[in-house]
Amino acid sequence: MDLKFSDNLKYFQTGIFNVLNDRRAEMLKEGRTVYNLSVGTPDFEPDRHVVDALIEAARDPENWKYSLRDMPALLDAVSGFYEERFGVVMETNEIMSLYGSQEGLTHIGFSLCNKGDVVLVPNPGYPIFEIGPYLSGAELAFYQLLPENMYLPDLDSIPAETLSRAKFMLVSYPMNPVCATAPKGFYEKLVAFAKRNNIIIIHDNAYSDIVYDGDKGGSFLSIDGAKEVGVEFYSLSKSYNMTGARISFVLGNSEIIRNFRMLRSQIDYGIFKPIQYAAIAALTGPQDSVRKNCEEYQKRRDALCDGLTDLGWSVPRSKGSMFVWARIPEKFGSSTEFCTKLMERTGVICTPGNAFGTLGEGYVRFALVLPVTVIKEAVESIRMSGILA
């Protein structure tokens, strides 16, 4: 049988994370020590009260049926959390749960775009930012994030013809992979830009609780007029170590939420109720672990960035997110070449920057997912290898 597949698949390559993981498995079989700093999965445990809420809810057979919708208690928990955490008052019709932000970012374009609409996406940027709009049939217009501009978009440089056709713009701070944060003034300018050009803003706020050096992450929705122009994704994955539970929220403009909800009603039957109860426990319970985990991420950042800088590889300290973004040493020709040699010679696995767009070439991303002591071992392995000499 001659099988024919979607032309959409031609756009994708084998995920770099899968390639790195396959080589990692081979190295472990060879008995080698591996320091896997490639995938951003928290190694902290979820709080006990969150786990207990899920277990208790799972004991009730009624909770194993289709949930169909968000429980009122969940919507109230999200609303209360946003007011307490960000100072933003949210109505329940401005909130919807998702199977993680990845799912939401994949599907929201289907509710917003007609074929040929333009979507503004960052370069470099997290891959789903471009994959979601692409699958919805949109044309991609990449805006540049450059170190000389603190990895903020130059809104004034986007061509007028592009703006006239743009349906929405994807923005994310703290930003994966470049580890930058954005000041309030940028968001104020962004809201005015969106109104002036009739462009919807989609803000991914997955790392608002992982911000360093005494700064505090905020919400796009806290800016006057933000609800008029867009929505925000807030995830429990990184803040509460619930990556496998797959629950996040899209919040903001009620019309965008209403239409997105109508689309999603055709492709899922609601979040598993025990996970909804776990989310309620996370959002309404003690928040001490969120702060402590951020402090630990900062210690890991310092151990990695300062340790590598001491070896002669200048690696700047991240401002936010659970990652480190570094320009590769000059003697290497590409991000992939450097990552491959680093892995083979030291056992340290990181992600080549070109996995995040053309402007990621020449950089690598490290995930801060190992304890400080192990990160120091990884730095020592790099030193001993002589790869930086």
Peptide bond before residue 124 is cis, with ω within 30 degrees of 0: yes
DSSP state string for 12-71: ----HHHHHHHHHHHHHHTT---EE-SS----SPPPHHHHHHHHHHHTSGGGGS---S--
Supply the pLDDT for residue 39: 85
* Best CATH choice for the domain 7-45+288-385 from the list 3.30.70.2860, 3.90.1150.10, 3.30.390.10, 3.40.50.2300: 3.90.1150.10
211 beta partners? 320
The predicted model scores a pTM of: 0.96
Supply the pLDDT for residue 16: 65
CA distance 82 to 49: 20
Supply the pLDDT for residue 15: 61
In the chain, CATH 3.90.1150.10 sits at: 7-45+288-385
Which residue stretches of the chain have pLDDT < 50?
none
* Best CATH choice for the domain 48-284 from the list 3.40.20.10, 3.40.50.150, 3.40.640.10, 3.40.50.1000: 3.40.640.10
Q: Are 77 and 279 in contact (CB under 8 A)?
A: yes
Chain-centre distance of CA 172, in angstroms? 8
In the chain, CATH 3.40.640.10 sits at: 48-284
Residues 6+ apart with CB under 8 A from 18: none
Supply the pLDDT for residue 18: 72
